[in-house]
Structure 1
Amino acid sequence: MKKIFISFAILAGVTLSGCNDSFLDKLPVTDPTEETVFKSYDNFLAFMWPCYEMFSNTDIATSVNGIGQNSHYQGDINAGFMDSKYESSSNNYAYQKITSTATGNGWSFGYLRRINMMLTHIDGSNLTDVEKNHWKAVGYFFHSYWYMELINRFGDIPWIETVLNDESPEAYGPRVARKEVADKVLDRLKWAEENIGDFQSRDGDNTINRDCIRAAISRFTLREGTWRKYHELGDYDKYFTECIRVSKLLMDDYPTLYYGTDGQPAAGYGEMWTTESLKGIPGVILYKEYVDDINNCNYSYMEHTSSHYVEMNQKTVDLYLMKNGKPILNHASSYHGDKDMYATFRDRDPRLYHTVIPPYKVKAGKGDYPTWSYTDDPADREYIDIMKPNESCSNPGTGMKRLPGQNWSASLVPEIPRLGTGAFVTCRSGYYVWKNWSQWEKSFNNGAQNTADKPIFKIEEVLLNYAEAMFEAGQFNQPVADITINKLRDRAGVAQMVVADINDSFDPNRGKYYPKGNDNGILVDPVLWEIRRERIIELMGEGFGFYDIRRWRMAPWFLNKTATGLWLSKEKAAAAGYTLYNTETGYSDGATGTMKEGYLYLFNDPLKEGKGWLEKYYLYQVPTTEILLNPALEQNPGW
């Protein structure tokens, strides 16, 4: 059972343990004021709790705010890895549906005001020098974490390190060059890494510490280094060097991956998002804790209902390797083809099974908690045997990604795929995303009872950051692959990467990046492509996609394609109200077309529609109202 402390941490969306009772007794009823807060250690602790809300702020695509499809799924929907099941919900960037904005768009500095207020009062407090450095480091962390998002969105951005008022000249100043701001962020994070204290006995055991700062440095330096390299800004080597340094320190301190408890293939991968408590789970650096009746979430509940709209498309399914470590188009892959969903999923990377519901079919019984039995076709139980059977619909047990599934009301889901947009557990593509599917017995008709914790920083991302930075620094080799990529593959049950085997023909469909002014694109180095593929798969559904395809300058490769679903006969497609995709014309075959079978049509080819990714989308628009208020601000190119 989770230990609960009623504190500002709960209001901030992160429940912390380890706070002393005297602190709890002294918490003010209302938010602390500037006149009373900046004296004691506990005053600083209380004042900074709201900054933990950053981790659930949906401007950040890796947000863990309790509604998956509006937080950490959205970044991968924007990247084209996933889609909405609704016919009117084509990708906003592929189909140029991003319109001019007057306000918002992530142009926000509210958190910075609170942080800067705290920082300016440290010297006048009653803290010791060590305590002052600790809170300065915590402030620098949160200040930098928010600037990581501002830089990613807007590039050049005003640098605010003081508390502004209407007369502050900084409030009406120009944007500061991206590289200058990024260097300031890195300097602050490094200072924080060196000076943060060991105060988790007072702050709580799930609060910002040195490891969290290192994880932020690892993420930021890879992101900024690759952005500078592929957007031709220069001066990127120091960022790869820092990413390598700090990532290796974390890898040494977190040598073990979580393998899970449920006995399914890649159980640790799947359970990272369905486990009731992440406290003490190997590799978890910081997490958001959910607690009954205090701060619940509805991730799992939503994924059991008709309101869940997140699905995967065929081109993303095709990115998953075979269990033998080969891409599906490799001559040695032993790929079973995509003419039915059973074949498509057979012998694939088991991480696919924890992201998309595998196919099955059962006979449904009757009753409040319906019984079920296997069909007469042994093929229908192939993935039930792999994922383990849901033997009792009234008590499915732990792990929760068992088959057959149930909806929010305990009704049986008798088969997958289920095509459609209305009924529960349906989607247009046939590839229904269920990354957070858990805790059915507690979710029963009540989304407010979901309490599975969610990771914020974990070692898996750090391993991928290290591998990619080592390649960019010209240092990636087999030993590096073994301590990064192959650790992840071992847990997933996928054959190890053998660097020497990867050449230009390893994946005939490897991706392209698009330097500015080059509309044809350049093939990504084959080894780098496999590193990036591993990142996409391991972090699928966690919100990193849109950051990645933009920093790699690969957005056109991922987005300027027709989104399709699984392969189906025209007869079955028509019965479900679907049409098929014509690979020759790039359009839907329609009701009167001549195709007898093909991929389910989701959306037309964006390029044939006269749409597609625009260069200006690499940076967000500065809201027009902000420029009216401050003419010194300049708009980003193309907006």
Structure 2
Amino acid sequence: MKKLFISLAILAGIGLSGCNDSFLEKAPVTDLTEDNAFNSYDNFKAFMWPCYEMFTNNTIRTSFKSYAQDGSYKADLDAGYLEQKYESGYNKFAYQTVANVASGNGWDFKSFIRRINIMLSHIDDSSMTEEQKNHWRAVGYFFHSYWYMELIDRFGAVPWVDQVLQEDSPEVYGPRMDRKEVADKVLERLKWAEENIGNFTSEDGKNTINQDCVRAALSRFTLREGTWRKYHELGDYEKYLQECVRVSELLMKDYPILYKGTDNQPAAGYGEMWISPDLEGIPGVIFYKSYVENMNEHSMGHVEHTSSHYVEMSHNTVNLYLMKNGKPIMNETSGYHGEKDMYAEFRDRDPRLYHTVMPPYKVKSGKGDYETWSYTDNPADREYIDIMGANTSCSNPGVGMKRLPGQNWGGSLVSEIPRLGTGAFVTCRSGYYVWKHWSNWEKNFNNGAVNTSDKPIFKIEEVLLNEAEAKFELGAFDQGVADKTINKLRDRAGVAKMVVAEINESFDPGRGKYYPKGNDSGIMVDPVLWEIRRERIIELMGEGFGFYDVRRWRMAPWFVNQPAIGIWMSKDDATKNNMTLYNPSTGYSDGTNGSMTEGNIFLFNDPLKEGKGWLEKYYLYQIPTTEILLNPELEQNPGW
């Protein structure tokens, strides 16, 4: 307790003094200030601890907020992978409703960057050993680079701030630095951090920034930057992809095993990664966000048991999931059971779908609606209950990871899925209810934030996907690479291995298009590359990578411009649920007086038939107008 108090006191003192020059001038010499508080190892540790808030700061789309729909789900909503269930919840990029911004938008060089630069400026004058100094410089470089990864992705060219700026510093009013030059500086810093970060687990504590975290960030950044340069025609991308391969293979050697899970479900390890009570020691987890009862808790699982959860999947994204035999649904040998029944649609599909979208079922309500329940007289209604496991009491908290039937936080039964609507708990308009963070073992109450499942920040699964994609872009992807990367993920999921020699132009007739010159032309993606990207989309669904990926691939129009539709239904059933059918010939709802007798549920109008759709300018974010007014040297990004 005493040690914690001292650390907090140091942090509070520096936090007050670091941004207030007049306070520094007047404070007594015995007070903790920026000038006298940076001496020991513990001083630096206490000062840098707030930088870990980057992993819960939703400017970075892979970070975690208390509700995933305000955090990691957001990027996949923007990417068109997921949808909002509300009638007003259309994709702002598809319908060109992105508002101009006066401030914010992620343009932030103060909150984290200033703190990091303050720390770095005091290292040389401290009493630490050279090894300790190198360690904290490496930690500072990691956090500085991690934030700059986001700045580069959003804005391209940005100012490079590597010193503590004052209001009269000339750099405050300077121009942006070229994207490639900034990226090269980030790469240089991350590589220096990789080589110089120390092994100070006993001092820093477990689950803190170490060499593996630096390598994971390098793997992510180099793939992102290398493919952005390639597909946005900036050139000089090979060195980034080669660096991605180098560092990814080091991590693959050190993390050779994937987590298989503890529950008796298909793809249990995939699903449990997001709802595990404790990720310490879990195979493949490099770094994670820890949650502790009565200390720091979240609502990510809680909200998915309520009417407040608004994230659903569209039919288009469901179609991306392979059959268990490894074939796309449009492949003539896939054995796809069709879309006209949700039970058939989900049958024999990649089990990762079942851990992301609640599968269909129907049961009878029991006493008090939730104390007991029973199966219906139709054995077909229990198909996915048998696969996922039965929720035997619907209690709060219950037993196990994911179970069917579902219930709200108060234990009230969800007697069937799909459950269409926008108001009641566990409802959605598409029929595909997203439940990635749902668990049965976590307690849930009306105050919300009592969940304690840990969440992965860096894990080997992403690294395997980075390796596979980088190898392809370098012309080095073959069956051996597939077996070391994608097929490890498929083995855990229970999906047939990728056989590279089988993948040809007809393997998936529905594969996507790359748009090298904006929205006016499209080139079919190489069939093998499409399967690599498909694996990434499925494995990382709901984890915040979508908007980064579709933009660096220059494929945003293909994903964002697709009309959002839901499950297949008869017109009579749709009407009973206050829904209408989507008319593909018009791109609009068939309405109540239309001639269609069955079809996919209507969610939103076809954006292209409305004369809307993704704009080329969306690949980079707008620089806030206030920033340009304050600094005329800043040039706005094209199109804004």
Query: Under a length normalisation based on structure 2, what TM-score does the superposition of the two structures give?
Result: 0.95
The correspondence of residues 489-500 of structure 1 with structure 2, limited to 5 A, is 489-500=490-501
> In structure 2, do the counterparts of structure 1 residues 337 and 516 end up closer, same or farther at CA, with 3 Å as the change threshold?
same
Partner of 2:29: none
1:369 CA displacement: 4.2
Partner-residue secondary structure (3-state), 1:443: coil
Q: Give a deviation string over 1:530-587, Cα, whole Å, max 9, x none.
A: 0000000000000100000000000010111110000000000001111100112221
Residues 93 and 518 of structure 1: is their aligned pair in 2 closer, same or farther, counting only changes over 3 Å? closer
Alpha-carbon RMSD: 1.2
> Could you tell me how far apart the structure 1 residues matched to 2:7 and 2:94 are?
53
Larger CA deviation: 442-451 vs 319-328: 442-451
Q: Distance in 2 between matches of 1:557 and 1:115?
A: 39
> Does residue 164 of structure 2 align to residue 183 of structure 1?
no
Instruction: Indicate the residue corresponding to 2:544 in structure 1.
Output: 543
Q: In the alignment, residue 341 of structure 1 is paired with which amino acid? A: M
- Amino acid of the residue matched to residue 118 of structure 2? M
Q: How many residues align?
A: 620
Q: Secondary structure at the match of 2:134?
A: helix
> Which residue of structure 2 lines up, in the alignment, with residue 28 of structure 1?
9
2:213 is matched with 212
> Pairwise mapping of residues 294-305 of structure 1 onto structure 2 (< 5 A)?
294-305=295-306
Q: CA deviation digits over 1:142-196, x for unaligned, max 9?
A: 0000000000000000000000011101000000000000000000000000000
User: Per-residue CA shift, 1:258-291, capped at 9, x if unaligned?
Assistant: 0000010000000000001101100001100111
- The CA deviation string for residues 69-128 of structure 1, in whole angstroms up to 9 with x for no partner, is 000000000000000000011001000010111000000012100000000100000000
| Aligned 1:53-92 pairs, distance under 5 A | 53-92=53-92
Q: Do the aligned residues in 2 keep the contact of 1:390 with 1:396 (CA within 8 Å)?
A: no
Q: How do 1:260-271 residues align onto structure 2 when only pairs under 5 Å count?
A: 260-271=261-272
**For 1:448 and 1:396, how far apart are their aligned partners in 2?**
14
Partner of 2:290: 289
Q: TM-score by structure 1 length?
A: 0.96
Aligned to 1:95: 95
Partner of 1:133: 134
Give the AA of the match of 1:264.
Q
Shift of 1:397: 4.5
- Aligned runs of 1:237-276 on 2, under 5 Å? 237-276=238-277
SS of 1:205's partner is coil
Q: Deviations over 1:20-66 (max 9, x none)?
A: x7466554173433133210000000000000000111111111122
Q: Distance in 2 between matches of 1:379 and 1:525?
A: 39
Give the aligned partner of residue 43 of structure 1.
Answer: 43
Distance in 1 between residues matched to 2:457 and 2:166, nearest whole Å: 33
Give secondary structure in 2 for the equivalent of 1:36. coil
1:566 is the counterpart of 2:567: yes
Match of 1:235 in 2: 236
- Tell me: CA distance 1:418–1:517, structure 2 relative to 1, closer, same or farther (3 Å): closer
- Where 1:182 maps in the other structure, the secondary structure is helix
**Aligned runs of 1:134-153 on 2, under 5 Å?**
134-153=135-154
Cα distance in 1, alignment partners of residues 213 and 228 from structure 2: 22
Taking the TM superposition and a 5 Å limit, the aligned residue runs for 1:574-585 are: 574-585=575-586
Q: Which letter does structure 1 place at the counterpart of 2:520?
A: D
- Contact 1:580 1:600 (C-alpha < 8 Å) held by counterparts: yes
Tell me the residue number matched to 2:457.
456
Code of the residue aligned with 2:98 in structure 1: it is: I
Q: For residues 525 and 502 of structure 1, do their structure 2 counterparts lie closer, same or farther at Cα, with a shift above 3 Å needed?
A: same
The aligned residue for residue 107 of structure 2 is: 107
Partner SS state of residue 89, structure 2: coil
Question: Shift of residue 395 of structure 1?
Answer: 6.5
Letter in 2 for 1:206: N
One-letter amino acid of the counterpart of residue 260, structure 2: Y
- Which residue in the other structure is 2:467 paired with? 466
2:527 maps to a residue whose letter is P
SS class of match (1:566): strand
Q: Amino acid of the residue matched to residue 269 of structure 1?
A: Y
Matched-pair contact (CA < 8 Å) for 1:93–1:559: yes
Which structure 2 residues correspond to residues 187-586 of structure 1 after superposition, within 5 A?
A: 187-367=188-368, 369-394=370-395, 397-439=398-440, 442-517=443-518, 519-586=520-587
Determine helix, strand or coil for the equivalent of 2:287.
Answer: strand
Distance across 2 between alignment mates of 1:68 and 1:208: 23
SS at structure 2 position matched to 1:119: helix
| Structure 2 gap ranges (5+) | 15-32
SS in 2 for 1:598: strand
Aligned with 1:311: secondary structure? Answer: strand
Residues 403 and 440, structure 2, Cα contact 8 Å, conserved in 1: no
Between the aligned partners of 1:556 and 1:104, the Cα distance in structure 2 is 26
The whole-number CA distance in structure 1 between the counterparts of 2:256 and 2:519 is 42
Is the 8 Å Cα contact of residues 100 and 621 (structure 1) preserved in structure 2?
yes
Q: In the alignment, which residue of structure 2 is the partner of 1:16?
A: none
Instruction: Please list the CA deviations of residues 500-524 of structure 1 after superposition, one character each: whole Å capped at 9, or x if unmatched.
Output: 0000000000010000256120000
1:323-354: CA deviation from partner (whole Å, max 9, x where unpaired): 00000000110000000100100000000000
Q: Give CA-to-partner distance per residue, 1:371-416, whole Å, 9 cap, x none.
A: 0000011110000000011112237754331000111110011000
SS in 2 for 1:565: strand
Query: Do the aligned partners of 2:397 and 2:444 also contact (CA within 8 Å) in 1?
Result: no
Task: Name the SS for the 2:446 alignment partner.
Answer: coil
Q: What is the distance in 2 between the residues matched to 1:229 and 1:306?
A: 43
For 1:237, the aligned partner's letter is E
Q: Which amino acid aligns with 1:324?
A: N
Q: Which amino acid aligns with 1:318?
A: N
2:600 counterpart residue number = 599
Q: Is the 8 A contact 1:421 1:428 kept in 2?
A: yes
For 2:195 and 2:103, locate their aligned partners in 1 and report how far apart those are by CA, in whole Å.
38
Question: Structure 1 stretch 293-302 or stretch 388-397: which is displaced more?
Answer: 388-397
Q: Is the 8 A contact 2:61 2:74 kept in 1?
A: yes
Return structure 1 stretches of 4+ with deviation > 3 angstroms. Answer: 21-27, 395-399
SS at match of 1:442: coil
Choose 254-263 or 35-44, whichever is displaced more.
35-44
Structure 1 distance, partners of 2:236, 2:550, is: 21
Q: CA deviation at 1:610?
A: 1.0
Letter in 1 for 2:600: Y
What's the CA shift string for 1:609-632, capped at 9, x where partnerless? 111000000000000000000000
CA gap of 1:529–1:31, structure 2 versus 1, over 3 A, is farther
Contact kept? 1:274, 1:399, Cα under 8 Å: no
Q: d(CA) in 1 for partners of 2:459 and 2:399? A: 22
Distance of aligned partners of 1:441 and 1:552 in 2 relative to their CA distance in 1, 3 Å threshold: closer
Report the AA paired with residue 230 of structure 1: Y
The DSSP-based 3-state class of the residue aligned with 1:95 is coil
Runs of 5+ unmatched residues, structure 1 = 1-5, 7-20
Provide the rounded CA distance (Å) in 2 between the counterparts of 1:343 and 1:493.
Answer: 18
Q: Secondary structure of the equivalent of 1:131? A: helix
Contact 1:429 1:602 in 2 (8 A): yes
Q: Give, in whole Å, the separation in 2 of the partners of 1:509 and 1:89.
A: 26
Q: Distance in 2 between matches of 1:396 and 1:363?
A: 21
State the alpha-carbon separation in 1 of the partners of residues 218 and 107 from structure 2.
22
